[in-house]
Amino acid sequence: MPKLALQISAQLTNVQKLRPATDDAALMMRVKCSSCHEEHKKEVSFSPLDEVDVQGGKGKANFVMSCQFCKRPASANFETPTAKAPLYQPYDGPDFATLCVLEFRGMEPVGFVFEHTTWRAVSEAGAAFAELEFEDGEWTDYDEKGGCEVSVMEVEARWVRA
């Protein structure tokens, strides 16, 4: 079953360590069925702390669904974090880098929605921005500690084999 890394890229100005605000933050993505390749009509959202029963008594997963077309079951799990590989790896830009790794069964991600998640970051001057939200892929604020503008622009995401 494919393990896929969610990689992000962004233009960071006077800010670093971008990551979801909390470990239970939900990520929203567009997904398709691995069997019939139909894209799920709605974006799906789930968090590392969600636990739901997998059909047929096959344990628990962070997310389960059935394909709307072929009805096959699908599920997804965040990779269990370790000391070396935390749940979310803070992003320092500017190139694509892995944010987190998920394992998909019967489904594949085809997109990611930054605007659904609350993020956090730290300014170069050390000020914490604990709850930031993107609007049309952009976020800007003013860092009083550093006396400068801080921003995250041109966010992009991609999925690659982990």
DSSP-assigned letters across all residues of 76-120: EEEPPP-SSS-SSPPB--SS-EEEEEEEEESEEEEEEEGGGS-EE
Q: Binding segment for Zn ion among 25-33, 111-119, 129-137, 143-151 (CB under 5 A)?
A: 25-33
76 near Zn ion, rule: CB under 5 A:
no
| Burial bucket for residue 126 (CB in 10 Å: 0-12, 13-18, 19+) | exposed
Nearest to Zn ion of 36, 160 (CB atom)? 36
Among 1, 24, 36, 51, binds Zn ion (CB under 5 A): 36
66 binds Zn ion (CB under 5 A): no
Residue closer to Zn ion, measured from CB, 34 or 47: 34
Q: What tokens does 15 get? A: 């800010």
47 binds Zn ion per the rule CB under 5 A? no
Please check whether residue 18 is in contact with residue 12, taking contact to mean a CB–CB distance below 8 angstroms: yes
Q: List residues near Zn ion by CB under 5 A.
A: 33, 35-36, 67, 69-70
